[in-house]
Amino acid sequence: MSKQAYTVCFCFSRRFKHALAEAPPEINTFFQNYSENELMTPSQLQRFLVEVQKQENATIEDAQAIIDSLKHFHRKGLNNESFFKYLLSDNNQPLPPSLGVHNDMTLPLSHYFIYTGHNSYLTGNQLSSDCSDVPIIRALKRGVRVIELDIWPNASKDNVDVLHGRTLTTPVELITCLRAIKEHAFETSEYPVVITLEDHLTPDLQAKVAEMVSQTFGDTLFYPTIESLKQFPSPESLKKRIIISTKPPKEYLEAKEIKEKGEASQHGKASVDEEALGKEALNIERGTIADVKDNIVDEEDLNDDDDEEDSDESDTKLQNNGAPEYRRLITIHAGKPKGGLRESLKVDADKVRRVSLSEGQLEKAVITLGKEFVRFTQGNIVRVYPKGTRITSSNYNPLLGWMHGAQMVALNMQGYGRSLWLMQGMFKANGGCGYVKKPDFLLKTGPNNEVFDPKAKLSVKTTLKVTIYMGEGWYYDFKSTHFDKYSPPDFYTRVGIAGVADDTVMRKTKVIEDNWLPNWNEVFEFTLTVPELALLVIQVLEYDMSDKDDFGGQTVLPVWELRSGIRAVPLYSYKGEKYNSVKLLMRFEFN
């Protein structure tokens, strides 16, 4: 036991004892019940693994391996201290590390939730941050499988840049981003990377992009031999392949038509580029952040407006005027037929496609066309993106898209906070490969043509009982005055479920004052109607009487993969980085 001193009012010190972590009473009781003469033998540990940890296939050899890994002087078993050490070890994770990729990966891409980024090249806010390949590399290393690139002509109109159009973001060359994707695409996962292109190019620059993409990726690039697919290929068949998804190019072609019509008139003073970029783009070039902050609109918000959607007929016409070598590389065709959301979500038996919706359009669609939405996503792909007013790279709740079957729920990977934590939690499932198979009820249609309705009143399938015993590690990962200058921290834990409306709830423990090693020993029960879409949200905060409570760690875990038993739960920083030492000791039980 050591002591910590905190200076108060510059004239005296308060001293607090800092003890080593001690096992909670219930852990001591488990040890007593599964040991004899203060020693837990391999056979007794194996019984504990089966009966408490619910590891039905655990063998005596498994138990002996745990004993050997702890490197203590009792080769014949565990004493109380080493048993507690095992429970808090990294070998006792809440998700089963041995499972790896265990979903069926041979189904069409539309059968999976896919880890998707929005404006993947931005280093910060949506308005004035730098564009770079660095956030793309970071996203790929975290398992993101869908990278979005907005491609525009460079200043001299002879090459292609990536930037957020109609903003003050500084561009990065497209070739830099493509090379970064090639080098890092499969470091974390061997399953396919989709590049979604938001295209603002002339046909000659499209041809240049096609050449760039083909030369950069070579045989890694996959594209079909036919223009329209009746069914998407599977992640398994696309291992270590790059695929392109974009909607038919139109902006510059439409602008060219406007210019040609205007040449016969004295009023047509605007150039092709001015028409294509919009008048506000020219104002931005001469103005400041303040000039455009109130008027920023995501490019796709403009293109996907309900009253001005793209018709298949006009798309075909425009495609025929574009670069054929560019069109040939598109595997997932994007675009929407004329006629609003209802037409957009009509299933075409002869071809599959991708539809892009803003978060606002998603909210509207699930209210008025919820069943049509779910039915459409059984074979087609829906991509949802943040609204353009999210200048700070904030995010929306991804669960609304997932529970209706949307595969590509795109979030700003720079927008740290709860929404991104939910995304990171979802894709811890299935070995962290970036693809999670959708539950069967989102893929099937019932006998009366019925589909899953997340708003329906459903019966309880299971109850998750969560015990929060204690936490440790802050003393090692934080400065002694990080949370409070005058005393040790006052920690409490928030725990709950994010899922369908009937399952969503948050609870919290009591506050443990002045203690780096909080022992809560509290139990919470959560009834679950749709456990297949439930995420367990855990967040530790430090209570502050006069200010906002300080952040002390978080994690989100997919309930459907959660291991029963007493587990060491590692916590992550606000930005999603795993702490070296901070963890909670918790127990999970399903009834």
- Active-site residues, by number, are 118, 164
Under DSSP, the state recorded for 501 is T
Tokens matching residue 197:
């292109």
Q: What is the dihedral of CA 547, 552, 556, 562, to 10 degrees?
A: -130
DSSP string for residues in 121-148: TBSS-TTTPBB-SHHHHHHHHTT--EEE
159 close to 151: Cβ distance less than 8 angstroms: no
Distance CA 455, CA 368 (A): 12
Distance CA 145, CA 175 (A): 19
> Tokens 């993106």 label which residue?
385
> Pairing mode, if any, of strands 408-411 and 381-385?
parallel
318 close to 249: Cβ distance less than 8 angstroms: yes
Distance CA 314, CA 254 (A): 11
Please count the other Cβ atoms lying within 10 Å of the Cβ belonging to residue 187.
11
* Residue 441: burial class (beta carbons within 10 Å; 0-12, 13-18, 19+): middle
Question: Which residues 6+ apart lie within 8 Å of 355 measured at CB?
Answer: 334, 335, 336, 344, 345, 376, 380, 381, 382, 383
Looking at the chain, how many residues does it have?
Answer: 591
3-class secondary-structure state, position 486: coil
Distance CA 203, CA 20 (A): 68
* 276 to 166, 202, 314, 338, 575: CA distances (angstroms): 11, 10, 17, 21, 37
* Residue 368: burial class (beta carbons within 10 Å; 0-12, 13-18, 19+): exposed
Tokens matching residue 468:
């929060």
245 close to 331: Cβ distance less than 8 angstroms: yes
Distance CA 456, CA 517 (A): 43
> Tokens 């560019």 label which residue?
326
Among the listed residues 25, 18, 67, the one whose alpha carbon sits nearest the alpha carbon of residue 46: 67
Terminus-to-terminus CA distance in the chain, angstroms? 40
- Helices (runs of H) and strands (runs of E) counted in the chain: 20, 22
Q: Is the dihedral of CA 100, 109, 390, 143 positive or negative?
A: positive
542 close to 552: Cβ distance less than 8 angstroms: yes
Phi then psi dihedrals of residue 442, to 5 deg? -85, -10
CA 202 to chain centre: 33
426 close to 402: Cβ distance less than 8 angstroms: yes
Distance CA 96, CA 588 (A): 13
502 close to 457: Cβ distance less than 8 angstroms: yes
